[in-house]
Amino acid sequence: MTIAKKAQEHIRKLCAKQENIFGMEAYDHHFVSVVRYAKQLAKKTNANKEIVEVSAWLHDVGSVLGDYKNHHITGAKYAGKFLEKNNYPKEKIEAVQHCIMAHRGSKQIPRKTIEAKCLADADAMAHFDQVGSLFSLAMKTHHMSVPEAEKFILAKLQRSYKKLTPRAKKIVAEKYRATKILLKR
């Protein structure tokens, strides 16, 4: 089994555990989408595909384990241990850990590698596939009304879009436009 497949299986199992407050939705609607975009970007940028894919499967493991606030740090540590156990080479582990550490748009951690840039882009791009989940977050978690939820989603997508590199913007531009047409009043 490839290391990417092992990381995928591992995260799928963790998402299925009862302690994960995000439920299987995190796997189905976030991880899968992030990995798909990450692979697409890796191809476009000639980044190391394996590093990008492994990082994408593990990037939010810290949140799944219950530490949303510092999930870039806990996630990088956890990924390091997981990959070590699977005899992954040290320099590759460090590359994956850097991607995870630097993936959050809200944290000012410089992205030093093309692989880290691919992951950060893919993470924000996934929001454009998650409008249903964003409604659920707005209405179920934040108890918003429908108009409030629409505004919330538009603002969130606008922020995500701004963070993207030009190559990533190109890929999701159509979905962004479509969402704006559907949600703007």
Distance from C-alpha of 96 to C-alpha of 41, rounded to nearest angstrom: 16
Instruction: Please choose, from the candidates 44, 35, 32, the residue with its C-alpha nearest in 3D space to the C-alpha of residue 167.
Output: 44
Size of interface with Fe ion, in residues (CB under 5 A): 2
Nearer to Fe ion, 66 or 147 (CB): 66
Query: If binding is defined by CB under 5 A, does position 123 make contact with Fe ion?
Result: yes
Evaluate whether 122 touches 92 at the Cβ level (below 8 Å). no
As measured in angstroms, the least distance from the Cβ of 18 to Fe ion is 21
Nearer to Fe ion, 121 or 123 (CB): 123
Subset of 72-111 contacting Fe ion (CB under 5 A): none
Among 29, 54, 60, 152, binds Fe ion (CB under 5 A): 60
CA angle 113–118–119, rounded 5-degree value: 100
CB atoms within 10 A of CB 115: 28
Using the contact rule CB under 5 A, the part of the chain among 19-27, 79-87, 118-126, 134-142 near Fe ion is: 118-126
- Residue ranges in contact with Fe ion by CB under 5 A: 60, 123
